[in-house]
Amino acid sequence: MTDIGFPLYVTNILGAWKLLGVIAIVMPGFPRLKEWAYSGLFFLMTGAALSHAFANDYGDYGFHIILPLFYAALGIASWALRPKSRRL
């Protein structure tokens, strides 16, 4: 985190948001909360990729860019392939 210019305490905030988002997604019911959790995780992962790109911190073979974008794609796939009973 400090390599791309963020203070270390940001990891606590982002980690808590990720944990709450995953809990909201796997918890039964609350379809609107799930929509917000999916969008939050998408913005979190794409923001991570962009932060690394703007800081010129690509990692080996672009790992710091590719991995968050892969997680964002998994989130999109999970959202798009959910059963009709879990849609708004």
Asked whether the beta carbons of 67 and 15 are under 8 A apart, the reply is no
Query: What gap in Å lies between CA 14 and CA 24, rounded to an integer?
Result: 15
Residuewise pLDDT in 10s, the chain (88 residues):
788 888 999 999 999 999 999 999 888 888 899 999 999 999 999 999 999 999 998 888 889 999 999 999 999 999 999 888 777 7
- Domain residue extents for the chain: 2-81
Query: What gap in Å lies between CA 37 and CA 19, rounded to an integer?
Result: 10
